[in-house]
Each structure stands twice: as structure tokens, then as C-alpha cells.
Amino acid sequence: MSVKQRIMVDLVRLMLLIGVIVSLGACSEEQTTPPKWPTIYSASPAIVRKVQVALRNRGYYTGLVDGFLGQNTTIGIMRFQVDHDRAARPFVDRSLLVSLGISTR
């Protein structure tokens, strides 16, 4: 058997194996619950300003405190979350506000 034929045979075996794995996963009777998404707060300028100030005070944000949830703010949020062993998510949610000590009232 030539090298090309051997590669083709191996490729067919691999595709068959992938098909079996996918089929077994699709036919599983195990039910999974949909993921629970965190409550995302509206990015009101007042809350974003509070987040920017809190991040700036901790050294995670150096931009303007303008109430705009832009690239610099989201990078600061994610850097803060990574440093505090949290999942890095570029939006304002309850866990971020709590960890920064921000009240929404």
C-alpha cells in the first residue's frame, strides 16, 4: 500500500470515528439544563461611571470617566476579573458590582 493510500485509509477511519462520537453524543438520553446567564445590568452612564471610578482607584482603568462602556472600560473590567479569579466577561453584572463595592441604588 502506498503512502497516499495509507493516509486516505487513516483519514476515512478518523472521519468514521468522529461520526460515531458525534452520533453517540446526539443520541444520549442525558438531559442537560440550559446555562443560567448572569443578570446583566443596563449600562447606564451613571453605573458605568461608578465602575470606571472603582477600576481607576484600583489601577485597572486609565481612560476618561465618561460613562461609556467602551473598549478601555471592558478591558479594565476583564483585567480586574482575571486578577480576582473570576470569569472574564466584558459587561456589567451583579457580581462585578458587588466585587467593586458598587450599589445600584
| Nearest CA-CA partner of 43 in 90, 78, 99 | 90
Give the list of residues 6+ apart from residue 56 with CB closer than 8 angstroms, or none.
Answer: 62, 65
pTM of the complete model: 0.62
pLDDT tens-place string over residues 21-54: 777 666 666 666 666 666 666 678 999 999 999 9
Average pLDDT on 54-78 reads 94
Number of other CB atoms surrounding residue 52 within 10 Å: 24
- Which of 20-24, 54-58, 100-104 shows the lowest per-residue confidence on average (mean pLDDT)? 20-24
Q: Which of 4-13, 27-36, 40-49, 85-94 has the highest mean pLDDT?
A: 85-94
Predicted local distance difference test score (pLDDT) of residue 9: 81
